[in-house]
Structure 1
């Protein structure tokens, strides 16, 4: 019987096999688990490395099925407003960041949550202007469906009282029609598209920070959602070079299915570390940003029942993409938060199932 290269002993091993849910020993040969049980002495050789778990729990690696992976790494290395529980703390954290950020670099990051503030007030450009008057500042809410810009960022984007909302997005304005700095969903792109591209060095830093954090938490595989084609090719290159330490599956933008289909036909390098998972679409926004598509108005915002995302503005096109992607065995993941959005998406999936049957 061939020996194992590594043998874990004295552990509480969770096998995920309901017939034999636990074990105390596990043997590896190369990258493969070849034996699990209570006595694997028959696999032991003089060269076998023995790792005594001393009663510790050993589990398969976790998979995080919904991440924005390098952005998560960037968040770890940028302004973190999750610790802001008031307006003053929000401003102080940004002011501290401004003191150490070169004037020509944007201040980004965020992950703030106004629900933590005593009055639950949304941040405004005035907060950011007070904290960092000389920088361009654009910091997102923790759900990623709204962000607040300071006056410099609004000026750069040309957003004024006369700027109309964009399809699938909202430019929040005060009673005098002046922009407050808060941008929701697709309106965020008015500023995001102007952000200087990150250097290769910074992109590597963000990805490595994300991989380090994932592995520290026992996460060995992730789905990276809404990946553009530049990032897809970047991941492809990293996979070829053997530089990925977490298994990554990517989902590309829903409306760009024709582009993904062409790329797949031309050939995309895929291996155990990098794979194309499918398409990611949006039907609406989020509850915290008051953009989830609802049947009824939000209680605190009469007249607002959310919005339909631009991915879903043309249902004829949505059906075409869904049906064609399904015909090519491509999985489609659709963001749906509001009750009306969920009804819409579930009805489409039911229609697809009825026309195609079981897979």
Structure 2
């Protein structure tokens, strides 16, 4: 009995040494690759055998395999060529949205050496998306008494690509009444403004038709268009103005659906129907408009779905306040989701069991 207990104790101590050694290898050995998105299935990523200091045939002989920590495996080992290859097409926009850097991390276990190597693959953006507008046709109502120089915000185009491949600018079709001005926010988002250059006359031209083009900087250049219909109406010369251009709120992830987060407010200096303001979320591709609900009359923002800190820690909600004839003011709400202790720890164990004789030398 005593001999058996000593034997088990030796195995425990040996496994502890192995685990400590493994942790050292994880921190000390890292392999870096960089590839463009949307490569074909089976495309070459890197010579993993060479970078591990092995011959291609040794990958199989030494039990080399990918440990992806429970996530979807985007890569595979080709044990014949010793290469790391793509398992399926990788769409950078789906994986990383508009994060500046898109990295995929996983480990490679070499079983016979009990070594784990950390692998990091950077997914580079390609120009696989064209700028597009949410609506093919935009409608703008402008009073015939509007003074030249008045600016009218237009809907921004959206391009999920990054850097030079993303939205770079706008162009307006030639016309006698309007020019285009492109503004940029602090975070680099470009939005178009229609500037009235020549006074309108409803009796001569009750409506105007323009074309707005958004283009990116890729090769070749990709573009998207939206038609603009300008309806000429009588006087409404003040757009709604929010009391704050930026609202912030922090909320725990476990608040129930329907929780009121905050109330926004915009005022319009006009009178009558021209001063009646309604509030809207600017819809973008994604789930923000489904997670939050904005009361168009009161400006109250509340949750319409459960929040999950582990899914998203931060949301940006774009708002518009419109008056009776369609002039708009813009603002943003920044929602920070606070973590609560709603998840149990997860333990991932990768181990190899070997036997050792009791009379083995130290």
Higher normalized strand content (fraction of residues): 2
TM-score, normalization: structure 2? 0.23
Of Structure 1 and Structure 2, the greater helix share is in: 1
**Normalised TM-score (structure 1):** 0.23
**Greater CA radius of gyration, 1 or 2?**
2
